[in-house]
Structure 1
Amino acid sequence: MSTILIKNANIVNEGKIIQGDVMVEGDRIAEVGGSISVKSADTRVIDADGQFLIPGMIDDQVHFREPGLTHKATIETESKAAIAGGITTFIEMPNTVPQATTIELLEEKFAIAGKTSWANYSFMFGGTNDNLEEILKVDKTKVAGLKLFLGSSTGNMLVDNPKVLEEIFSKTDLLISVHCEDEATIKKNMAEYRKMYGDDIPVEFHPKIRSEEACYLSSSRAIALAKKTGARLHVFHLSTARETELFDKKKPLAEKKITAEVCLHHLWFSEEDYAAKGTRIKWNPAVKTAKDREGLLKALNDGRIDVIATDHAPHTLDEKNNNYVNAPSGGPLVQHALAALFEMYHNGKLSLETIVRKTAHNPAILFEIKDRGFIRKGYKADLVLVDSNSPWTVSRENILYKCGWSPFEGRTFRSRVTHTIVNGCLAYENLKFPNRSKGERIIFDR
C-alpha cells in the first residue's frame, strides 16, 4: 500500500485555514494533524512549504463529448486536463451522440469512463418529452441525477411539454438539474435580429437574444413547479443578477430543496469581452452584463448560489470560428478554472474558504457523494496543492484540451496547481503526470 505524507501545508477545509500535515495511505486520508511523522522508508514526502492544500474540486457540470463527438474531446483527454487543473471528480451531461436517455446508453458511458478516466466520475441521465418510463428506472444511488434542458442548447434535448414536465417533477425521486432559458423568448429575439442582420448577427447581441427575460422566465417557472411538486431541483449556470433573487440564503445547504450553481465564465467575463473574444465566449446561457456578474458574485458570497462549476464544453476552433448563427455555444474550462478562482481570491472577490466550500464541500453535500469533498480522516484522498505565488501564462503549448484552445489564452495567472492526488495516486506533479490515476465511479449516500 503506497503512502504519501504532505508536510507544512496551509490546509483549507471546512471554513478554516490551518497549517499542518496530511497522511495518505492507499486511497484514503489516514491522518490530518499538526505534525505527522514518517512511518516507513517508502513513504513519499511532499513538502508543501506553505502552499494551499484543498480537497479536489467536484465539477458538477461538464461535457466531455464521448461518445459520438470525440473530434472535440474524449473522457480521457478532458479528465486528464481536469486533474491538471485541480478537478478530481466530474459529473458529465447527457447530450452526447447518442444521447444518454436510456439506461443502456448511460451504462455505456460509465463503461468508457471506467476504462479511460483519470478523474472520478458520474453522469446525468437525460430527460426528454417521451422517456418518463426510462427515468423511473434510474437508481438514484448509482447516478448523479436527471438533466432537463428547458431551453435548447448544444445537442437539442429540449423538454417543452408542460404536462410532461409536471409528471417528471412529480414522479421521480432523482435530483433534477435544469438548463433554464425560455425557448419562445429566444426564438422571438432571434427572429428580430435575423431580420436586421441575417446570419451575420454581431456576437455582441448574444446576451440580447438569450436574454435576462428568457433566463428569468424559465428559472422562475422551474422553481414554481419544484415548490408545487416537492421535487429536488438544482438550477444550473445562473447568468443574471435577477435570477439570484429566486433563491434562499437562510437555510443550511443540507436543508435546501432548491439550489443553484454559477459557472466560472459568468463570474469572469462580461458583455464587454465579446469585442475581443468573439464566439470563443459564446455560451448558453450567454455571458451578460458587468452588473449581472457582480450580482452573481454577491449571491455566491451570501449563500444564495451554492456551487461553482465549469460547464466545460469544448468545440474545435474551426467550429467556433463560424459566424454567430453557426458557431456552437460552449468552451473549455476545466484546466484553468481553479487558477481563475484563485485570481479572484487575489483580487479580494472570493475567500479561499468560499472557493473550497463552493467547489468541493457543497457539491459533495448537494449530490450526497460518499466520502469525498472534504479533507477528513477516512475520506478518499482527492487532494490538490496550489502555489499561490507562481505566475504562469496560458498558451497553446501548455493547453491540454483536445480542442487545443482556451478563452484564457494570453492570460497570466498568479497561482498554479502543483500536485493532484486522485484516490491516493499522485497523478499530477509540476506539469508532469508521474502516475496514471484511475478514476472511480462515485457512490451516493441516498
Structure 2
Amino acid sequence: MKSILITNAQLVNEGKCFSSDILVKGQYIEKIAGKINAEEADHVVDVQGKFVLPGAIDDQVHFREPGLTHKANIYTESRAAVAGGVTSFMEMPNTVPNTLTQKLLEQKYEIAKNTSLANYSFFMGASNDNIEEVLRTPKDKVCGVKVFMGSSTGNMLVDNEQTLENLFSRVPMLIATHCEDEATVRKNTEEYRRKYGEDVPISCHPLIRSEEACYKSSSMAVALAKKHGAQLHILHISTAKELSLFENKTPLADKKITAEACIHHMWFNDTDYDKKGTLIKWNPAVKTKHDQEAIFQAVLDGTIDVVATDHAPHTLEEKNNNYFNAPSGGPLVQHSLPAMLEFHHQGKISIEKIVEKMCHNPAILFDIEKRGYLREGYFADLVVVDTDNPWTVTRENIYAKCGWSPFEGQQFSSKVLHTIVSGHLVYSDGKFDEGQKGERLLFSR
C-alpha cells in the first residue's frame, strides 16, 4: 500500500482547528497525531502550516454525460472538481437519455468508474410514469431520487398529483427536489413575452421564475414530506420566503426535511445581471440582495444545511443568446471552495463552518460511508489550501470543458494546493496524477 504523510498541517475538523500530522495508507487515514515519523510514509508533503480540510462533497452537479458531452463530461468536470477541492460529487439525471431506468443509471456508474478523478454517485430520476423503476433503486449504493417539480429536460417534469403522492409515500430513501411551480412560471413567461416580445431583458428572469413560483412548489413538497414522513432535501433555495419552511433546532441527523444553498445564490444578486447577463442565468433565478443575505444567514444559523454548486455547464455559444434561447446553468465546481474561503476572508463565515456545510453535513445528510471527516479509519479525502495565495480566474486556468466561468476576472485569496481522493494524490501544485480513479460512494442506510 502506498502511504502519504502530510506534516506541519493545520487540520480543520468537527468545529476545531489544530496543528497535526496526518498519515494516509492505501485508501484510508491511518493516523492523526501531533508528530508522525517520516519513515512511516513513502511520500511526505510538508504543508508548512497550511490548512488541511476534508474534501468537499458537492451534492448537486450536472456533468452532462451521456448525451450532452459537447458541453462537459464526467472526466473533464471531475478534473475541475478535484482542482477546486471537491473530492466527491452527486450527479443529476437530466442527461440524454434521462436516467429513468436502473440500466441507464448503472451505465453512468460504469462511465465514472473508468473516467472520474473524484468519488461519485448518481441520482435516480423520477418521471410521471417510472415509479416501479424508482422503487428498485438500491438505497445503499445510490445517493437519492431526484424529482423535478418544475420545468426540466425531457420527460422529467413531475406534475402529476398521484405520482407525487406515490413518490413521497413509497420511496424509502432521500428525495431531492427542484422546486419551481410550472404553471406560475408559464403564466409569468407569457406576461413578459406580451410586454417585450422575444427581447425580454435578462433582469426579468427572477420575476419570471419568481418568489411565488419557488415558494408554491417548495411548500407543496414540504407538505407532502410531512404527510408521508418522507426524507426531503430541497435543492438550491433562492428566496428568503422559502426559509420559513425549514427549522434549525433539530440536529441534522434527525431532520427529515433539509435544504441546500448554492454558491451563485450566495455570491450574486439581481444587480449583477447588468454586468454578467445570461452568464448568471440559473433556475431557480438569482434574486434580490434581501434574498441573498437571508440565504447566507440561513447557512450560518443552520436553517440551510449544505452548500453546493448546481454546476451545470453550457458552451459560451449557447449562453450568448437572447433571454429565451440562452440555457440556464453555469460551471462552478472548480471555484466553490475558493469562493466560500473568500467569504471567510471577508469575515462573513468561519473556516470551521465552511467545512461543516461542504464536508460534514453532506456526509451526515446522505449517510455516506466513512467520508466527510478527518478521522482515523475514514477514507482519505483531503484538501490542502493556502488561505494567503491570491490568484485570478482566467480562461487559461479553468478546467471545465466549456472553458468559461461566471467568476472570470475574480481574484480569490485562497488556493487549493493539493487534493487527495481515496488515498491518491490526484492534484498537486497545478498538476494531475490520473493513475487512479475515484470510488463509488456507498451509504449506511
TM-score between the two structures when normalised by the length of structure 2: 0.99
In structure 2, how many angstroms separate the alpha carbons of the residues matched to 1:390 and 1:112?
A: 35
In structure 2, how many angstroms separate the alpha carbons of the residues matched to 1:444 and 1:240?
A: 31
1:399 aligned residue: 398
1:222 aligned residue: 221
1:32 aligned residue: 32
2:370 aligned residue: 371
Tell me the C-alpha RMSD between the 2 structures: 0.9
In structure 1, how many angstroms separate the alpha carbons of the residues matched to 2:178 and 2:107?
A: 24
2:276 aligned residue: 277
> Residues 224-303 of structure 1 correspond to what in structure 2 (within 5 A)?
224-303=223-302
2:161 aligned residue: 162
- Displacement, 1:434? 3.5
Higher mean alpha-carbon deviation, 59-68 vs 135-144, is at: 135-144
1:105 aligned residue: 104
1:349 aligned residue: 348
- Displacement, 1:436? 3.0
TM-score between the two structures when normalised by the length of structure 1: 0.99
In structure 2, how many angstroms separate the alpha carbons of the residues matched to 1:348 and 1:142?
A: 39
Note if 1:22 corresponds to 2:22.
yes
1:334 aligned residue: 333
Secondary structure of the structure 1 residue equivalent to 2:431: coil
Tell me if structure 2 keeps the 8 A contact 1:62–1:311.
Answer: yes
Summarize deviations over 1:283-340 as a string: whole Å, max 9, x none.
Answer: 0000001110100011111001000000000000000001010100000001111100
In structure 2, how many angstroms separate the alpha carbons of the residues matched to 1:20 and 1:417?
A: 19
The verdict on how the C-alpha distance between 1:438 and 1:367 changes in structure 2, with shifts beyond 3 A counting, is same
Tell me if structure 2 keeps the 8 A contact 1:154–1:329.
Answer: no
Unaligned runs of 5+ residues in structure 1 are: none
Note if 1:201 corresponds to 2:191.
no
- Displacement, 1:153? 3.1
Tell me if structure 1 keeps the 8 A contact 2:238–2:285.
Answer: yes
The verdict on how the C-alpha distance between 1:407 and 1:155 changes in structure 2, with shifts beyond 3 A counting, is farther
Summarize deviations over 1:377-401 as a string: whole Å, max 9, x none.
Answer: 0000000000000000000111111
Summarize deviations over 1:86-109 as a string: whole Å, max 9, x none.
Answer: 000000000000000000000000
Summarize deviations over 1:135-155 as a string: whole Å, max 9, x none.
Answer: 111111111110000011355
Unaligned runs of 5+ residues in structure 2 are: none
Secondary structure of the structure 2 residue equivalent to 1:108: helix
- Displacement, 1:49? 1.1
- Displacement, 1:431? 0.9
- Displacement, 1:435? 4.6
2:147 aligned residue: 148
Secondary structure of the structure 1 residue equivalent to 2:79: helix
In structure 2, how many angstroms separate the alpha carbons of the residues matched to 1:416 and 1:160?
A: 43
Identity %: 62
In structure 1, how many angstroms separate the alpha carbons of the residues matched to 2:403 and 2:145?
A: 30
Note if 1:8 corresponds to 2:8.
yes
1:413 aligned residue: 412
In structure 2, how many angstroms separate the alpha carbons of the residues matched to 1:271 and 1:294?
A: 12
Secondary structure of the structure 1 residue equivalent to 2:443: coil
In structure 2, how many angstroms separate the alpha carbons of the residues matched to 1:284 and 1:434?
A: 35
2:444 aligned residue: 445
Tell me if structure 2 keeps the 8 A contact 1:382–1:420.
Answer: yes
> Residues 47-58 of structure 1 correspond to what in structure 2 (within 5 A)?
47-58=46-57
In structure 2, how many angstroms separate the alpha carbons of the residues matched to 1:213 and 1:207?
A: 10
Tell me if structure 2 keeps the 8 A contact 1:118–1:436.
Answer: no
Amino acid at match of 1:84: A
- Displacement, 1:349? 1.3
- Displacement, 1:423? 0.9
In structure 1, how many angstroms separate the alpha carbons of the residues matched to 2:29 and 2:186?
A: 51
Tell me if structure 1 keeps the 8 A contact 2:117–2:434.
Answer: no
In structure 2, how many angstroms separate the alpha carbons of the residues matched to 1:296 and 1:150?
A: 21
In structure 2, how many angstroms separate the alpha carbons of the residues matched to 1:155 and 1:348?
A: 43
In structure 2, how many angstroms separate the alpha carbons of the residues matched to 1:3 and 1:202?
A: 55
2:113 aligned residue: 114
Aligned pairs, number:
445
Tell me if structure 2 keeps the 8 A contact 1:89–1:121.
Answer: yes
Give the ranges of 4+ consecutive aligned residues of structure 1 lying more than 4 Å apart after TM superposition. Answer: none
Secondary structure of the structure 2 residue equivalent to 1:266: helix
In structure 2, how many angstroms separate the alpha carbons of the residues matched to 1:267 and 1:156?
A: 30
Tell me if structure 2 keeps the 8 A contact 1:392–1:416.
Answer: yes
Secondary structure of the structure 2 residue equivalent to 1:238: coil
Secondary structure of the structure 2 residue equivalent to 1:401: coil
- Displacement, 1:156? 5.4
In structure 1, how many angstroms separate the alpha carbons of the residues matched to 2:144 and 2:48?
A: 40
In structure 1, how many angstroms separate the alpha carbons of the residues matched to 2:19 and 2:336?
A: 25
- Displacement, 1:268? 0.3
2:66 aligned residue: 67
- Displacement, 1:43? 2.2
Note if 1:87 corresponds to 2:104.
no
Tell me if structure 1 keeps the 8 A contact 2:100–2:125.
Answer: yes
Tell me if structure 2 keeps the 8 A contact 1:119–1:437.
Answer: no
Higher mean alpha-carbon deviation, 428-437 vs 16-25, is at: 428-437
